[in-house]
Amino acid sequence: MPGTPLSANLRCGRRRMGDRCCDDDIPETDVSNATPPDRLPEKLPDDPMQLASDWLDEATAREVQRNPNAMALVTLGADHRPSARVVLCKSFVADPGYIVFYTNYQSRKGRDISANADVALVFHWDALGRQVRIEGKAVFSPPAESDAYFHSRDWGSRLGAWGSDQSRPIASRDALVAQIKARAAELGLPLEPDAANPAAGSPPEIPRPPHWGGFRVWASSVELWVEGRDRIHDRAVWTRELAPADENEFAPTAWVGTRLQP
């Protein structure tokens, strides 16, 4: 609708098509826990990662969505085809500036990262009107870090890391369950006969598979976005260089920030 403020178009939380909402029959979203649009600091901070971390902490504390630590991860494989999926941020380390997620290293994302370490991440909290875009280099987490997180997972998730060949085809879900049970038997793990659950008694320890662990995404570019009325959003981007220090670490330069037009 020409001349209609963005806030009016977004009251129902849905995209407009011409002068009518494209899905008028869908109930309105509950935004009672939303916050009014805010702004980036007039003087941009020297380091964007701390502000991004604060935003994640606020989204988590206010429970603005089921998984506030969900982030889109984009990779580029050896065939130069992009691939996107949503993963969970398990650690946001503002200083020195990396994000950690965990996965099967033999999955598509794992294979993509092995071919090309350049990745992109996006956090989006619609109820807060905020978004964080991060670009950087992905490297393997140190084994001790992966071990510690793996052993914090529930027993079934640890077994699933052995039982599922992530991203590989399988004939049916029954075949997947049978495969998980077979892998459990190979590991000497007693299961209940009708389910992939540990048999009665204390569940035995499950070691971390060598093909499963963490990735650290070291940020080389961070864009912070705050929703603005009439689509006059607040945006700024910071960049820095990453010099390899060892197999898990980089020696970054100082951040350089600048505002962007919406």
Q: Which two tokens stand for residue 224?
A: 């912070």
**What is the C-alpha separation between 123 and 125, in angstroms, rounded?**
7
Question: For residue 13, what pLDDT is reported?
Answer: 35
User: Do residues 112 and 64 both lie within one domain?
Assistant: yes
User: Do residues 77 and 127 both lie within one domain?
Assistant: yes
Q: Which among 224, 222, 223, 227 has a CA at the least distance from the CA of 38?
A: 227
175-226 per-position pLDDT tens digit: 998 999 899 889 888 776 655 555 555 578 899 999 999 999 999 999 999 9
Look at residue 230 and tell me if it is in a domain.
yes
User: Do residues 137 and 226 both lie within one domain?
Assistant: yes
Q: What CATH number corresponds to the domain at position 236?
A: 2.30.110.10
Whether 182 and 165 have beta carbons less than 8 Å apart is answered as no
Question: For residue 197, what pLDDT is reported?
Answer: 59
Residues sharing a CB contact under 8 Å with residue 93, sequence separation 6 or more, in sequence order = 99, 100
Whose structure tokens read 């870090």?
Answer: 145
Look at residue 146 and tell me if it is in a domain.
no
User: Do residues 131 and 229 both lie within one domain?
Assistant: yes
Whether 217 and 137 have beta carbons less than 8 Å apart is answered as yes
Half-sphere exposure of 232 (CA within 13 A, CB side): 4
State mean pLDDT over 132-145. Answer: 98
User: Do residues 180 and 108 both lie within one domain?
Assistant: no
| Tally of structural domains, the chain | 3
- Model-wide pTM > 0.85: no
**What is the C-alpha separation between 20 and 7, in angstroms, rounded?**
15
**What is the C-alpha separation between 184 and 168, in angstroms, rounded?**
19
pLDDT band at 1; cut points 50, 70, 90: very low
Domain holding 64, by residue range, is 40-141+216-260
User: Do residues 242 and 131 both lie within one domain?
Assistant: yes
State mean pLDDT over 88-117. Answer: 97
**What is the C-alpha separation between 182 and 82, in angstroms, rounded?**
34
Element (H, E) at 156: helix 155-163
Question: For residue 15, what pLDDT is reported?
Answer: 34
**What is the C-alpha separation between 108 and 237, in angstroms, rounded?**
29
User: Do residues 125 and 202 both lie within one domain?
Assistant: no
Phi (first) and psi of residue 131, to 5 degrees: -150, 145
Domain boundary among 185, 207, 229: 207
Whether 53 and 99 have beta carbons less than 8 Å apart is answered as no
Question: For residue 128, what pLDDT is reported?
Answer: 95
84 has pLDDT over 90 = yes
User: Do residues 116 and 190 both lie within one domain?
Assistant: no
